[in-house]
Structure 1
Amino acid sequence: MLQILSITTPIFILIGLGFFAVRFNVISREQIRGLGSFVITFALPALVLKALSNNSFQEVMNWQYMLAYTAGSLAVYLLGLLFALRLRREPLTTGAITALGMAVSNSGFVGYPIVAMLLGPAAAIGLALNMLVENLLIIPLSLILAEAGRQQGSTAKVLGETAKRLARTPLILAMLTGLLLSLLEVRLPAIPGKVVEMLASASAPVALFVIGGSLYGLKLNGLFAELRMIAIGKLILHPLAVFLLFSLLPDVDPVLMVAGVMFASSPMLSIYPIFGQRFGVEGRCAAALLFTTLMSFFSISLLIGVMKPHL
């Protein structure tokens, strides 16, 4: 138990530091947003670039990991959508956003620091592959369905806007560059490589601090029953689905399996309320983010104990 807490406690202490730093006005919300922009624009792209360029293309593009994580995430997304539409009678627009909260992890800000402490270098490869699945499949699918529910904008228009956004995203550019360098077996020169390494090393602690600062001020607003189902989908069903998919595949690398399951166990992405704001459900999304992040301390600690024997 102490070994498990030695992994999870520092993670949530850093989140707590960010929360209380904003709570007591040591750092402002604007500064937290600035730190978040630093992580998304520089630190995480550097981490992904370093991980991909320093490994062979065959190691990076692990088809078993991609298949298990993609199929598991998509299965939970569709289950969440069915739950929202059939049981809660939500319209397609809000149902798509509800399902998004169950199927897309905060891989960069929460998942990577935890997996890195647990598994080391394998975490960066898992992060890069997760970003491909999340940014190229689950998030665009959610936006298309949500727009379709509002009957505003054609599918082609939504796809075009999504493609333009992705083409300007530093993480996607870093992935493509890293994959190209890996494919060509080219390593970064010493000086740029050192800069990338320094930026990458800042990603985990700053990301956790930003998460904590972003949580301050969010309220649960009496939505416990609704939030409970989103949290169950994200913290229990998502990692369970990824684990089951890995279990069906032959000769799976146990390290990558644990990485995939742990990434899936992370709470939803920190910009979840921003997606909700676009469709008028930002309050519920913010409450879901707060509740799920709080509950993840217990669920992730338990899951680490369960997954340890697989290493």
Structure 2
Amino acid sequence: MLTVLGITAPIFLLIALGFASARAGLVNREQVRGMGTFVIYFALPALVLKALTERSLGEVLDLPYLSAYALASLAVFAAGYALARVVRRQGITTSAILAMGMSVPNTGFIGYPIAFMVLGPDAAVVMALGMLVENLLMIPLALTLAEIGTQRGVAGWQLLRETGLRLLRNPVIIAISLGLLLVIFDVRLPALLARVIDMLAGASAPVALFVIGGTLCGLKVGGMASEVLQTAFGKLLLHPLALLLACLVVPGVDSHLMLTGLLFASAPMMSIYPILGQRFGLEQRCAAALVVTTVLAFFSISLLLSVLRGQGVLPA
């Protein structure tokens, strides 16, 4: 428990710092949104580019695990989207962003430290595999649906054209495309540019968490409780269960990869979740879901580790 707390405590401290700064008037809402814009247009694309170019495709290409992880994530996304869209009568954009929170974990900032602590350096390979699915499939899928939701009333090819143009201008999509091209053609970035990208990538997590805290200042949770709990339940319970089932169904999945992936899937949603929601005016809802899910993750991950150790799967 203390080890997990050592990982999650800095996250809460940065969120609290953002909240306290906004509460004290050191930053206002527009400044917080400006910092969020910095993350999504500069720091986050740098982080994605860095993650995709640090390893070759040959090092991380494990098709059985990739298939299982993609299948599990898509299944949870579909379930979350259907629940929000059909049962709760939410719009396309809100449903897509909510479903993304249920199916895309905080791979780099929570999942990897926990997996590394428990299973060692092999966790880096699983992190790279997960990021491929998240960056190339899940996040683009959610953003595509969210963009479509903002263009209701526009029909046919015009809708597809406008959605495609917006996605082509999305900095995350640009970073993914550039990263893939660099990996495929084995192109190394110049040392100076690589250093700049490293610096921007390093700013992604702390600034995003600060923005979350600033967004939470003055937040009224009333009326959002059911959506927040739905997102937390889907992320912390449905996603790891879906991954476990998918790994058992898809042939050839390595048991070590399955175990490591289970820890990643058990992590809360990515820390820039509210930043992505900001583009669609959903940052407060996303921030509330992130904080609640991260708090609950401390207990759910600790319980998962205890169960795995009790079964003799992990060392005591």
Cα pair 1:80 1:98 within 8 Å, conserved: yes
Cα pair 1:14 1:212 within 8 Å, conserved: yes
Structure 1 residues 63, 155: CA separation in 2 closer, same or farther (over 3 Å shift)?
farther
TM-score by length of 2: 0.78
Which residue number corresponds to residue 248 of structure 1? 249
The letter of the residue matching 2:113 is M
Cα pair 1:48 1:174 within 8 Å, conserved: yes
Three-state SS of the structure 1 residue aligned to 2:91 is: helix
Separation in 1 of the partners of 2:37 and 2:186?
31
Cα pair 2:80 2:234 within 8 Å, conserved: yes
Structure 1 residues 190, 27: CA separation in 2 closer, same or farther (over 3 Å shift)?
same
Which residue number corresponds to residue 202 of structure 2? 201
Please provide the CA RMSD for this pair: 3.3
Which residue number corresponds to residue 257 of structure 1? 261
Which residue number corresponds to residue 48 of structure 1? 48
* Higher alpha-carbon deviation: 176-185 or 245-254: 245-254
Structure 1 residues 105, 270: CA separation in 2 closer, same or farther (over 3 Å shift)?
farther
Structure 1 residues 13, 143: CA separation in 2 closer, same or farther (over 3 Å shift)?
same
1:141 lines up with 2:141 in the alignment: no
TM-score by length of 1: 0.79
Cα pair 2:92 2:146 within 8 Å, conserved: no
User: Which sections of structure 1, spanning at least 5 residues, go unmatched?
Assistant: none
Q: 2:297 aligns with which of 279, 300, 311?
A: 300
Which residue number corresponds to residue 94 of structure 2? 97
* Residues 126-161 of structure 1: per-residue CA shift (max 9 Å, x gap): 3453122233323323554x479x6x1225333322
Cα pair 1:246 1:257 within 8 Å, conserved: no
Separation in 2 of the partners of 1:242 and 1:268?
22
Separation in 1 of the partners of 2:229 and 2:44?
30
* Higher alpha-carbon deviation: 246-255 or 46-55: 246-255
Cα pair 1:47 1:201 within 8 Å, conserved: yes
The count of residues paired between Structure 1 and Structure 2 equals: 297
Displacement of 1:94 in angstroms is 2.6
Displacement of 1:117 in angstroms is 3.0
* Higher alpha-carbon deviation: 243-252 or 177-186: 243-252
Separation in 2 of the partners of 1:276 and 1:159?
18
Separation in 1 of the partners of 2:66 and 2:139?
13
The letter of the residue matching 1:261 is A
Separation in 2 of the partners of 1:161 and 1:10?
40
* Residues 233-273 of structure 1: per-residue CA shift (max 9 Å, x gap): 34432343234323433234257614641456558921575
Separation in 2 of the partners of 1:28 and 1:180?
40
The letter of the residue matching 1:117 is P
User: Which sections of structure 2, spanning at least 5 residues, go unmatched?
Assistant: 117-122
* Higher alpha-carbon deviation: 113-122 or 210-219: 113-122
Which residue number corresponds to residue 119 of structure 2? none
Separation in 2 of the partners of 1:61 and 1:216?
43
The letter of the residue matching 2:208 is A
Separation in 2 of the partners of 1:243 and 1:155?
39
1:171 lines up with 2:172 in the alignment: yes
Which residue number corresponds to residue 117 of structure 1? 113
Which residue number corresponds to residue 213 of structure 1? 214
Please give the residue correspondences for 1:215-230 in structure 2 after superposition, counting only pairs within 5 Å: 215-230=216-231
Cα pair 1:45 1:174 within 8 Å, conserved: yes
